[in-house]
Amino acid sequence: MKEGLLISDQRTQASYEIPIQDGTIRAMDLRQIKTAPDDFGLMSYDPAFMNTASCRSAITFIEGDKGILRYRGYPIETLAEKCSFLEVAYLILFGDLPTEPQLKEWVGQITHHTMLHETTKKFLEGFRYDAHPMGMLVSTVAALSTVYPEARHVQDPEIRRLQIMRLIGKMPTIAAYTYRHSLGYPYVYPDNELGYTGNFMNMLWKMAEPRYTANPALACALDILFILHADHEQNCSANVMRSVGSSRADPFLATAAAAAALSGPLHGGANEEVLKMLDEIGAKDKVPAYIEKVKAGQFKLMGFGHRIYKNYDPRARILKWAADRVFEVTGRNPKLDIALELERIALEDEYFIKRKLYPNVDFYSGIIYQAMGFKPEMFTVLFAIPRTAGWLAQWQEMVEDPEQKIARPRQVYIGHAVRDFVPLEKRSAAPAPVKA
Ligand SMILES: CC(C)(COP(=O)(O)OP(=O)(O)OC[C@H]1O[C@@H](n2cnc3c(N)ncnc32)[C@H](O)[C@@H]1OP(=O)(O)O)[C@@H](O)C(=O)NCCC(=O)NCCS
């Protein structure tokens, strides 16, 4: 069967055959469709990239209608059950699961790069006592660019690999320092004897005791949460990572930009909003009235809906399971009852069924984080730590892809045609826009 699209232009009666590859046509193939030789040619118009593939990627596969998520071909459920986060980060970044010696070397390298330069620590000290941890994280990651100027040589694979290790190693340290800063506690230096999540918990919660020992069940749950958040193909922040990286900005700056995108309430910031929403609802019996307000369009149900998933988010299912493991240690978070009631009513309601709105990853993660002792402002920071592996994998793939260039969309200009200039003394105020 021939794979092509026949287009007939009703303006000119001309017809064109456009090749189809992997279920897509190339937007540049539309450019040949013109009304005259000096016509620019046809473009596609796709605000918010609703139907545009911006790259070819071999990292993460999502089938939204079936609720499938795989990293490099492995189902998320299997990885969450059988692997550590650093093993999964290796898989995402380098394409295959590591062998035992490869994993040992990789873990050693990441552990070796957990320390922050003392000047970076001082930089963090400059933030106000009530600074939002995400703002601190974004700025500190960007500041690392000044500590490692060689990072700008993004075409050098060895230099790239070193920055990847630095970023994955330092992210938990920065995150822990933002937390300690907000509480006014002294910073705790990384402990090389501990694993990735155990060390993170040590830097967060160690007080006067000579050695902090993380609860193994909580460290394991955090590791699973990190695996679930490691990558999610071309989401808003991954797109920012690729877009900023496409200008050949260094990976610290590109990661800071991606983290900034993650902070928004429609993206990673949603987990913090879910907790605020559950607080606002307050009790299980208030859920139906809240749902009515959502349906009336007053606000969105945070932690619900997804651009790609039109089925239950597979990560939310694993999170529900992880929540039970965490609650065995911490005691049940009473907000879970409100969340379960919200989910129950929403999944039976025509409004949500018709729009295929299901709980997403942010719906249950905040409840778990809160039970573990995190403040809601830290939730998005906890998302950013593992997502750094995904951002870097997307960035690396983009840098190595010969088809990629600086990302630069086109626009449909809808402003004025050329206007006559009016000198300042002759200008009158433009009439105020009419409100609808
Ligand atoms: C994730 C999200 C940004 C995806 O947005 P999108 O793909 O642009 O989807 P749309 O906003 O076009 O939604 C389609 C319809 O569902 C409705 N909808 C989407 N999410 C909704 C939600 N959480 N609560 C109530 N209604 C919702 C929209 O109002 C729209 O309804 P309409 O067709 O009557 O206008 C959106 O679902 C959302 O804002 N969710 C809440 C924030 C969140 O949890 N983000 C984390 C994502 S992992």
**What's the token pair of residue 381?**
């920071």
Name the pLDDT band for 436 (thresholds 50, 70, 90). Answer: low
Q: Whose C-alpha lies nearest to ligand 1, atom 1?
A: 306
pLDDT value of residue 153: 98
Q: How many CB atoms lie within 10 A of CB 16?
A: 15
Given CA atoms 112, 113, 118, 121 in this order, what sign does their dihedral have?
negative
DSSP, res 376: G
How far apart CA 299 and CA 290 sit, in angstroms, is 10
Q: Is 8 helix (H, G, I), strand (E, B) or coil?
A: strand
pLDDT value of residue 333: 85
Whole-number Å distance, alpha carbon 236 to ligand 1 midpoint, is 14
Mutation pick for ligand 1 pocket among 236, 300, 307 (CB with most ligand atoms within 8 Å): 300
For every residue of 92-131, DSSP letters joined together read HHHSSPPPHHHHHHHHHHHHHT-PPPHHHHHHHHTS-TT-
Whole-number Å distance, alpha carbon 45 to ligand 1 midpoint, is 21
Q: Whose C-alpha lies nearest to ligand 1, atom 2?
A: 306
**What's the token pair of residue 22?**
């992997």
Q: Ligand 1 pocket: which residues have CB below 6 Å?
A: 266, 270, 294, 300-307, 355, 357, 360-362
Whole-number Å distance, alpha carbon 305 to ligand 1 midpoint, is 5
Does the structure show a pLDDT above 70 at 117?
A: yes
Matching residue, tokens 């009304």: 35
Whole-number Å distance, alpha carbon 362 to ligand 1 midpoint, is 13
- Closest atom of ligand 1 relative to the 305 alpha carbon: 37
Predicted model pTM: 0.93
Q: Whose C-alpha lies nearest to ligand 1, atom 32?
A: 355
Matching residue, tokens 């920071």: 381
pLDDT value of residue 334: 85
179-188 own/partner pairs: CB under 8 Å, 24+ apart: 179/133, 179/204, 179/374, 179/375, 179/378, 179/381, 180/204, 181/124, 181/125, 181/127, 181/129, 181/131, 181/136, 182/129, 182/130, 182/131, 182/133, 182/375, 182/377, 184/129, 187/121
Mean pLDDT value of segment 26-53: 97
Catalytic residues: 267, 306, 362
Q: pLDDT digit string (tens) for 190-231?
A: 999 999 999 999 999 999 998 899 999 999 999 999 999 999
- Closest atom of ligand 1 relative to the 274 alpha carbon: 44
Specify burial of residue 303 (Cβ count, 10 A radius: 0-12, 13-18, 19+): buried
DSSP, res 33: -
